[in-house]
Amino acid sequence: MYYLGLDLGSSSIKAALVEIATGKSLGVVQEPEEEMGMLALKNGWAEQDPEEWWRHVCASVKKLKGTYNISESQIKGIGISYQMHGLVLVDKLGKPLRQSIIWCDSRAVEIGNEAFEAIGADKCNTQLLNSPANFTASKLRWVQENEPEIYKEIYKFMLPGDYIAYKFSNVMNTTISGLSEGIFWDFEKDGLADMLLGHYGIDRSLVPDIVETFGMQSAVSANAELESGLAAGTPIYYRAGDQPNNALSLNVFNPGEVAGTGGTSGVVYAITENLSVKESSRVNNFAHVNYKKGEAPRIGKLLCINGAGIQYRWLLNNLSVDSYEEMNNLASEIPVGSDGVCMLSFGNGAERMLNNKEVGSRLVNINLNNHGKAHICRAALEGIAFSFVYGMEILKSDGIEIKVMRVGNDNLFRSEIFADTIATLVAQEIEIYNTTGAIGAARAAGLHDGDFEKFGSALMDNDYIRTIKPLSDKGPYTIAYQNWKKELNLVLNKN
């Protein structure tokens, strides 16, 4: 018997099956094979068709069943992970009224900034734990202001995962964790953020019913059985945004536990029970998947680094090298500190952790007689690692104590230089696991029975790769990091 996990990204849908008894992954498939389309009618806009998501979800389920010869009767529950901060608007019949305004769409930035000023930093920090910024609530306000005819037809707004759950079940609901990622949750009141809804003039009736993150949320309908290939009555047991779900996938639930990802962009996601916020302009704060009303809070502090793996990929494409392995081997020939060569890897747009400054990617201190591409490869890996360390210092200043750090087996963490640099500078062991968001969502479907110990055992038994330990000689790393910070501060002080 199996649980099904779905991971709705902006480029594709990934679907996974795990054995209920062992938590072992049977396999993962992707739909479509090529990236999904994205509509950008203006600079900074990004939209997708929710119905296209659903078509690819159905195709991924059918592909998974066919590839592994599994029948619908063997799938006993569903877990859903999804791209955060998106906005889906439906009418009374559940039909989308417009394309989804997705996470990377920036049209509502000024609306959120104006709300932050009008409401006040103190209220936003203590009640919302965030600036309204460019999150889902601000996007909904944009529709109200700019598309009033559509706004009048709204029956409910949803997050992307809510919509997929609705398509499976014909039931509209959401979760506290989901509402918090849209900045619809008041943590001081432990309820809907009426303060922000009132400021934006958004009626409470547009909010779907709230269900627990783990538990019987709804079940596959007869109509969805025909479309998806899943049996009617199959329960939906779990739903969460991609970053909280990535943390869950790494068994990160409790204060002091930290999850990291090192893909195109980088993320450090740390759990705390402290509602005090100092860095709301640089760090996002959401109700984690195990947040419960009336209990000690579980808050996920999310720090994003836009310019991470994208920098290393850019070098791969422009340095006349054949692979990341070749780049890593070249870098290993150069000592810590790259002989003074320094790279700031912030070339993927404005960096929130740098107060939304766009400093770009910069390579400095090149000596044309002594330095070559091996130095550049080492400086790139160190620069990206230093940006993670810099971000973790911000989290520590915001009250985070790191006791356990777990990361996925991403391209960056496969590099010993990258992993060693972070582990040594933060003086923390880093556990590396070979898991994915879809696998995590499938395992999370089993948490409706509350067996978190079994969940952790499944991760350790099936996905553990190795532990990176801090190196004993920290000195060269500290010197290199301080040099990197000096270069960063020179740039920040100019902007």
Gyration radius from the chain CA atoms:
22
Distance CA 444, CA 411 (A): 25
The answer to whether residues 237 and 255 belong to one domain is no
The answer to whether residues 422 and 485 belong to one domain is yes
- The percentage of residues in the chain with a pLDDT greater than 90, rounded to a whole number, is 89
Number of domains making up the chain: 2
436: in domain = no
Mean pLDDT of the 181-194 span = 97
**Cβ atoms within 10 A of the Cβ of 485, count?**
16
Q: If pLDDT is split at 50, 70 and 90, which confidence band does 495 have? A: low
Range of the domain at 272: 250-429+469-495
The answer to whether residues 175 and 295 belong to one domain is no
The answer to whether residues 400 and 488 belong to one domain is yes
Q: If pLDDT is split at 50, 70 and 90, which confidence band does 387 have? A: very high
126: in domain = yes
Among 195, 218, 245, the domain boundary falls at 245
Mean pLDDT of the 69-94 span = 97
pTM of the model: 0.94
266: in domain = yes
| Residue among 339, 342, 316 nearest 328 (CA) | 316
The answer to whether residues 139 and 222 belong to one domain is yes
| CATH code for the domain of 423 | 3.30.420.40
Q: Is the pLDDT of residue 449 over 90?
A: no
The answer to whether residues 288 and 186 belong to one domain is no
The answer to whether residues 7 and 109 belong to one domain is yes
DSSP letters spanning 10-25? SS-EEEEEEETTT--E
Name beta bridge partners: 156. Answer: 90
The answer to whether residues 190 and 55 belong to one domain is yes
The answer to whether residues 228 and 276 belong to one domain is no
More confident residue, 495 or 108: 108
Mean pLDDT of the 368-375 span = 96
The answer to whether residues 240 and 256 belong to one domain is no
449: in domain = no
447: in domain = no
Among 175, 210, 245, the domain boundary falls at 245
Q: If pLDDT is split at 50, 70 and 90, which confidence band does 279 have? A: confident
The answer to whether residues 231 and 326 belong to one domain is no
Q: If pLDDT is split at 50, 70 and 90, which confidence band does 411 have? A: confident
Please tell me the total number of residues recorded for the chain in this structure: 495
Q: Going by DSSP bridges, is the β-strand pair 100-101/235-241 parallel, antiparallel, or unpaired?
A: unpaired
- pLDDT number for residue 80: 98
229: in domain = yes
